Amino acid sequence: MTEKQTWSQRFESALNPAIARFNASIGFDIELIKYDITGSQAHAKMLAHTGIISYEEGEILFTGLEQIRQEYDQGKFQPGIDSEDVHFAVEKRLTEIVGDVGKKLHTARSRNDQVGTDTRLYLRDQIRKIRQQLREFQGVLLDIAEKNVETLIPGYTHLQRAQPVSLAHHLLAYFQMAQRDWERLADVYSRVNISPLGCGALAGTTFPIDRHYTAKLLHFDRVYANSLDGVSDRDFAIEFLCAASIIMVHLSRLSEEVILWASEEFRFVTLKDSCATGSSIMPQKKNPDVPELVRGKTGRVFGHLQAMLVIMKGLPLAYNKDLQEDKEGIFDSVNTVKACLEAMTILLQEGLEFRHQRLATAVTEDFANATDVADYLAARGVPFREAYNIVGKVVKTSIAAGKLLKDLHLEEWQEIHPAFAADIYEAIAPRQVVAARNSYGGTGFVQVREAIVNARTQINGK
């Protein structure tokens, strides 16, 4: 390290090069550069607005910062490790461009409130993008649901066949999860969108700044009421990572289902060539790499949440360098969630083909209509628990005889209980089994059609 640090006047000797590398965050916080510039422009305007610097000086700072933005966009500004972090890098370049006036930018500000501002501006943008992606994901789920209201698929509990459901109903469950994610992110946004700018290093500043002015310029809803809290709060990061983790839980569950469905054991879907990969040794293979990767990437987002919680738990007020560790986890989580949402949306859109014939067979080859036999008796006055026990016995003897419920003769039904009549066959046909579950939120076709209409309205609303 040959160059002197910005803070180096207080120091006798230069930083050990290995320590400089260890200390530096420029390698990753360069991601924040456009937000750093925008935040600094607002700060410069405020300094001029309050008379802390002259109007002309404010203009010079603003324009110089704009030039850095362009230089960076054109690949002409690539700060190195000697800048330590993005904040120093921008300030240094500014002074190179506009001369000594550049040195006034950091009046009444600290990197502590600055980095908090940058991170919040970044996260605000990213939350908007992720919410948009969630809407696209929901839209594709709805498109498939609309075409498959009457497609039946076995429904499971304990991964045992339980009751058949409409495929649309199954997909709409994921729509609802994504809806909560979308709403949750809006809630997180409201606490990301608070300005720490002007909290200074920790205690505020001696200058007559106007924090509300910068907050307004940067479209923050409000400002932190306590400067110590403002520079050291990372609740918003924890909340975001938590919301991101829940999104990953949802995507990972869907992934797991697709992986199962694509297996030879289920054969519910075929993976299309555009979204599947082959094996380097087994020529017959078509692998569900996309959902496997999504399932696998879930771990890193959970890890970042855990890391952030641990970073915070023992921190005394106010800023501590530990907080520099917040950024890589946030960036990686943002990139992971966006990549996974995109991949899953494409997979749903063009990578899956439901095997209708196979699904139709699957819902007729088991005892998933047993509850309906019990319900049949219960509807005819037999107490449900008694009916349940009767049907349990029927299932047992049918399995022993190698028969399904639909194969029993009417006489056999009537021997079991006199309440059985010829309409039992209709009552236990898979289509009727599904249609009959017409309670609110159930899989009955009427319910599902209504749920689709509501879902459409919901995503078209905003």
Complex with ligand ARG: residue 87 or 211, whichever CB lies closer: 87
Contacts made by residues 75-82, CB under 8 angstroms, sequence distance 24+? 79/26, 79/30, 80/26, 81/20, 81/21, 81/24, 81/26, 81/27, 82/1, 82/2, 82/3, 82/20
Of positions 31, 36, 57, 85, contacts ligand ARG by CB under 6 A: 85
Nearer to ligand ARG, 87 or 304 (CB): 87
Taking CB under 6 A as the criterion, the residue among 29, 57, 181, 233 binding ligand ARG is 29
Stretch that binds ligand ARG, among 107-115, 122-130, 148-156, 384-392 (CB under 6 A): 107-115
Q: Would you count residue 31 as binding ligand ARG (CB under 6 A)?
A: no
3-state secondary structure 280-305: CCCCCCCECHHHHHHHHHHHHHHHHH
Size of the site for ligand ARG (CB under 6 A): 11
Query: Closest separation between CB of residue 456 and ligand ARG, Å?
Result: 43
195 as an active site residue: the answer is: no
Indicate which residue of 8, 274, 279, 356 is catalytic. 279
Number of helices and strands in the chain (H, E): 19, 6
Residue 112 CB, shortest distance to ligand ARG, in Å, is: 5
Helices (H), 325-444: 326-346, 356-362, 370-379, 384-401, 410-416, 424-427, 430-435
Whichever of 48 and 115 has its CB closer to ligand ARG, that residue is 115
* Catalytic residue chosen out of the listed positions 158, 280, 409, 439: 158
Residues from 309 through 328 that contact ligand ARG (CB under 6 A): 319, 321, 323-324
What does DSSP assign to residue 148?
T
Closest to ligand ARG by CB, 237 or 455: 237
State in Å, rounded, how far the first CA of the chain is from the last one.
52
Spell out a b/e string for 53-70, using b for 16 or more CB atoms within 10 Å of the CB, else e: beeebbebbbebbebbbe
Q: To the nearest whole angstrom, how small is the minimum distance from the Cβ of residue 339 to ligand ARG?
A: 24
Which one, of 316, 314, 308, 119, lies nearest residue 232 by Cα? Answer: 316
CB 244 within 8 A of CB 305: yes
DSSP-assigned beta bridge partners for residue 304: none
| Of 85 and 233, CB closest to ligand ARG | 85
Tokens of 146: 């609309």
160: burial class by Cβ within 10 Å (0-12, 13-18, 19+)? exposed
Residue 170 appears among annotated catalytic residues: no
Site string for ligand ARG, 108-137 (x = CB under 6 A): ---xx--x----------------------
CB of 25 to ligand ARG, least distance (A): 4
Binding site for ligand ARG (CB under 6 A): 25, 29, 85, 87, 111-112, 115, 319, 321, 323-324
Query: Known catalytic residues?
Result: 158, 279
